[in-house]
Amino acid sequence: MKIDGTKRTSRTTAAAVLSLFVIAVLSVACTQEPAEPIELILTQPAPVDSVQTFGNPPGTIGNLHTFVAPISEDGAVVGYLSGQRVLTKTADMLVGLLDKKDPRVVADIAIEEWHQTMTFHLPGRGTIDVAGDRLLNADPNAAFPRIKKVAPQALAIIGGTGEFQFARGEVTTVLNADEGYTQTLTYLLD
């Protein structure tokens, strides 16, 4: 059987060209610079909140706090924030577990752990969903537990819709002097 040298050369050339193309595509994909995080700074007044204790005293695991507040960007209202917190660990459960050097912890104030979810609703743009645990002052006299003024706390950005689809990152919350909050969202869209 006679092999045509022209066909063999054509196949070899085609395979070489295809191999070089694949290598070029992979090298471009592997050398792309990582995306720069996007930062969105939103402010809000003190939230309107509702406390559901389900007949239990304050400080009982399972107590629920819901809240809503308008959110602003550069002084203009751009949407609203809604969320809820569920008490997951009481102050006595956290004794000895917290690092006293953690700025969220104050030596003379009991701390509780609350699981929190929030959604930033930005009409025309989409939503950003956030979740995680927060350490809050355990104050039985406070209707709504708040973070300390000096200790920002971060929660995970776990997704979104619209222009925020596939968002991931974190939101850092700071309690302002006027009892409102500054929410700094730092995220990637990939």
User: According to the model, what pLDDT value does residue 169 have?
Assistant: 97
Q: Please give the class, per CATH, of domain 38-189.
A: mainly beta
Please tell me which of 28-32, 150-154, 156-160, 172-176 the model is most confident about, judged by mean pLDDT: 156-160
pLDDT band at 60 (very low <50, low <70, confident <90, very high): confident
pLDDT band at 51 (very low <50, low <70, confident <90, very high): confident
d(CA 27, CA 142) in angstroms, rounded, equals 58
| The pLDDT of residue 123 is above 90 | yes
User: According to the model, what pLDDT value does residue 103 have?
Assistant: 57
Domain ranges of the chain: 1-32, 38-189
Report the predicted TM-score, pTM, of the whole model to 2 decimal places.
0.76
pLDDT band at 20 (very low <50, low <70, confident <90, very high): low
Of the candidates 43, 41, 46, 42, the residue with the CA atom closest to the CA atom of residue 178: 46
Helix, strand, coil percent content, the chain, rounded in steps of 5: 20, 45, 35
